[in-house]
Amino acid sequence: MTSSRFIITVIGSDRVGIVARITTVMANFNVNIVDISQTIMDGIFTMIMLAEAPEENFDHAAFQETMASEGKELGVEVKVQQEDVFRFMHRI
Amino acid sequence: MLINPNEILETIRMVKMEHLDIRTVTMGISLRDCSHPDIDIFNENIYEKITVNAKDLVRTTEEIQNLYGIPIINKRISVTPIAIVAESCKTPDFVSVARTMDEAAKEAGVDFIGGFSALVHKGATKGDLKLINSIPEALASTEKVCSSVNVATTKAGINMDAVGMMGDVIKKTARLTADRDGIGCAKLVVFANAPEDNPFMAGAFHGIGEPECVINVGVSGPGVVNAALRELENPNLTDISETIKKTAFKITRMGEMVGREVSRRLGVEFGILDLSLAPTPEIGDSVAAILEAMGLERCGTHGTTAALALLNDAVKKGGAMASSSVGGLSGAFIPVSEDAGMIEAVNVGALSLEKLEAMTCVCSVGLDMIAVPGDTPACTLSAIIADEMAIGMINKKTTAVRIIPAPGKKVGDSVEFGGLLGMAPVMPVSKFSSETFVKRGGRIPAPIQSLTN
């Protein structure tokens, strides 16, 4: 049941460089973007990515921590959650 | 994108804004192979058994919390009722067993350990009596140990001798923990029809029909149901029921996924998912708020029992669709001290002990986390228990009483337990005596199962 794919959500006020800096962290961890969608809802920047982690030597905890601290610097909230949680909750 | 972005944002909102969480991952551990006449050896055996089985429980649970981004609030352990496994120990009391459980719980890093329990619905053995008499000191001298006593079932009736004893046990427990507002009583439950696989405290124990080791999960989400209902525009009660069902479905799915993953990683069987709506003192994370969202000015007014019946049933229907492993208590909890809306309802005079008793006829579990004056006689506590046990016995459901006769407190005061246990306003009890009735003892026979009118 466990998948190596993650949903990454970035929510916060819009500013220059959010996508660039978040995706740089992902590239450093060798995490591939499978799909990406981005909207501004009521002035709030919302980016959702479906990402795939490498099969070997992937440190999930370190990735999550680095993404969260990068988000903090940018003033946005970054969440990295395994995709199963969304699939399981809304689909039979 | 394969997953709808709105669904992703909905899940995130549930967790972040509406306090959706996994309330507990509870590992049930059988202690049946630990029995020994020498209580020191017995204590060594249970310490070893608990700490070995639960050694990876907290770490694994935290890994899964991070992986899915869903908070898991408590990690707990439940064990075989101690009255059964310590029966052959030749000591006058079992307090040292509770202390050993406390140490094992601390070593494992869990929040609570349940199972300092006895099942005496038909009658008590010597071991049962030793355990019941040990409860006050056991709860006063430990931090994490929870205790429960089952005094009634639909098939056996109500053991009124045990009900009578429990009034005294509760009073003594309050007295021994008087310096902390009688907090010992917050860790003691008296049950009718106690479930064997309940992951929620204080009533969790590992039943005798359970496997060697098992993972049970309790999910919670009154805040999510409350928010979903408040979004509806002028709904009728059918719409409300439908929304509760759908929300309960989603909450349950998440709990099932987490439970299965924890059990897979630990190599332990997955038992049940308990989809109870367990409130917390956080604003909005309240069962009372859900009832008020249905249109009641205050929880406790006329109509509250009907609203609660709708809520409880819709939660079960949504949950049963979402998981084939639903068990435990599974319903809406109405603990007064843990629910900001209930506290408010008591404070403004909308909610009384009598109304709470009526509400327990249609929901899980019973009179829960209720503070009454410190000078309430033991026989009045026993009579309150007897009433609640009768509701459980006749309605073939689990009911329970967790009541705190707050030492030195009177109506209008409140007690403060902190954390998930919250604070409770002291509620009045009847000033008329039940003493003669309680002291008669004996059994209230099992009820007839037909002619149900």
3-state SS of B144-182 is CEEEEEEEEECCCEEEHHHHHHHHHHHHHHHHHCHHHCC
Cross-chain CB nearest to A86 (options B11, B66, B67): B11
> Are B66 and A84 an interchain contact pair (Cβ–Cβ within 8 Å)?
no
Q: Is B55 on the interface with A (CB under 8 A)?
A: no
Q: What is the pLDDT along chain B (453 residues), one digit of tens a residue?
A: 567 888 888 888 888 778 888 999 999 999 999 999 999 999 999 999 999 999 999 999 999 999 888 899 999 999 999 999 999 999 999 999 999 999 999 999 999 999 999 999 999 999 999 999 999 999 999 999 999 999 999 999 999 999 999 999 999 999 999 999 999 999 999 999 999 999 999 999 999 999 999 999 998 889 999 999 999 999 999 999 999 999 999 889 989 999 999 999 999 999 999 988 888 888 888 999 999 999 999 999 999 999 999 999 999 999 888 888 888 888 888 999 989 999 999 999 999 999 999 999 998 888 999 999 999 999 999 999 999 999 999 999 999 999 999 999 999 999 998 887 889 999 999 999 999 999 999 999 999 988 877
Q: Does domain B28-58+76-192 have CATH number 3.40.920.10?
A: no
Which residues of chain A make contact with B67, given a CB cutoff of 8 A? 60, 81-82
Which residues of chain A make contact with B264, given a CB cutoff of 8 A? 1
Which residues of chain B make contact with A65, given a CB cutoff of 8 A? none
The answer to whether the peptide bond before residue B202 is cis (omega within 30 degrees of 0) is yes
Q: What is the DSSP string of B285-314?
A: --HHHHHHHTT-SSTTSTTHHHHHHHHHHH
Query: Phi and psi dihedrals of A40, rounded to 5?
Result: -110, 115
> Are B69 and A80 an interchain contact pair (Cβ–Cβ within 8 Å)?
yes
Work out whether the CA dihedral B98, B101, B103, B109 comes out positive or negative: negative
Tell me whether strands B188-192 and B213-220 are parallel, antiparallel or unpaired: unpaired
Which residues of chain A make contact with B250, given a CB cutoff of 8 A? 89-90
Task: Give the domain B216-444 fold.
Answer: Anaerobic Ribonucleotide-triphosphate Reductase Large Chain (3.20.70)
Beta bridge partners of B146: B114
Q: Is B246 on the interface with A (CB under 8 A)?
A: no
Sequence-ordered list of residues with C-beta below 8 angstroms from that of B6, at least 6 positions apart, any chain = none
Q: How many CB pairs (< 8 A) connect A and B?
A: 69
- Residue (of B287, B299, B285, B416) closest to B364 by Cα position: B287
Q: Sorting pLDDT into bands at 50, 70 and 90, what band is A1?
A: very low
Cross-chain CB nearest to B3 (options A64, A80, A83): A83
d(CA B128, CA B287): 35
Q: What pLDDT shows up at residue B453?
A: 75
Sequence-ordered list of residues with C-beta below 8 angstroms from that of B177, at least 6 positions apart, any chain = B139, B140, B183, B184, B185
Q: Is B66 on the interface with A (CB under 8 A)?
A: yes
CA A44 to chain B, closest CA, distance in angstroms equals 13
> Are A50 and B1 an interchain contact pair (Cβ–Cβ within 8 Å)?
yes
Query: Phi and psi dihedrals of B68, rounded to 5?
Result: -95, -15
Domain boundaries, chain B: 28-58+76-192, 216-444
Which residues of chain A make contact with B12, given a CB cutoff of 8 A? 9, 11, 79
Which residues of chain B make contact with A35, given a CB cutoff of 8 A? 1-2
Q: What angle do CA B155, B192, B85 make, to 5 degrees?
A: 90
> Are B5 and A37 an interchain contact pair (Cβ–Cβ within 8 Å)?
yes
What count of other Cβ atoms lies within 10 Å of the Cβ of residue A59? 11
Q: Which CATH class is domain A5-90?
A: alpha beta
CA B112 to chain A, closest CA, distance in angstroms equals 27
- Residue B199's alpha-carbon distances to A79, B209, B290, in angstroms, are 29, 15, 23
> Are A60 and B12 an interchain contact pair (Cβ–Cβ within 8 Å)?
no
d(CA A88, CA B252): 10
Q: Is A19 on the interface with B (CB under 8 A)?
A: no
| Buried b / exposed e along B189-208 (16+ C-beta atoms within 10 A) | bbbbbbbbbbbbbbbbbbbe
Q: Which helix (H) or strand (E) holds B188?
A: strand B188-192
d(CA B201, CA B205): 9
Which residues of chain B make contact with A81, given a CB cutoff of 8 A? 67-70
**Amino acid identity, position B413:** D
Q: Which of residues 42-81 of A touch B (CB under 8 A)?
A: 46, 48, 50, 60-61, 64, 79-81
ipTM: 0.82
Cβ atoms A79, A31 nearer than 8 A = no
Query: Residue A77, SS3?
Result: strand
Domain boundaries, chain A: 5-90
User: Which of A33-42, A76-85, B141-150 is modeled with the greatest confidence?
Assistant: B141-150
Q: What is the pLDDT of residues A13-32, one digit of tens each?
A: 888 888 899 999 999 999 99
Q: What pLDDT shows up at residue B127?
A: 95
Assess whether the region B28-58+76-192 and the region B216-444 belong to the same CATH fold: yes
CA dihedral B336, B381, B408, B180 (to 10 degrees): -60
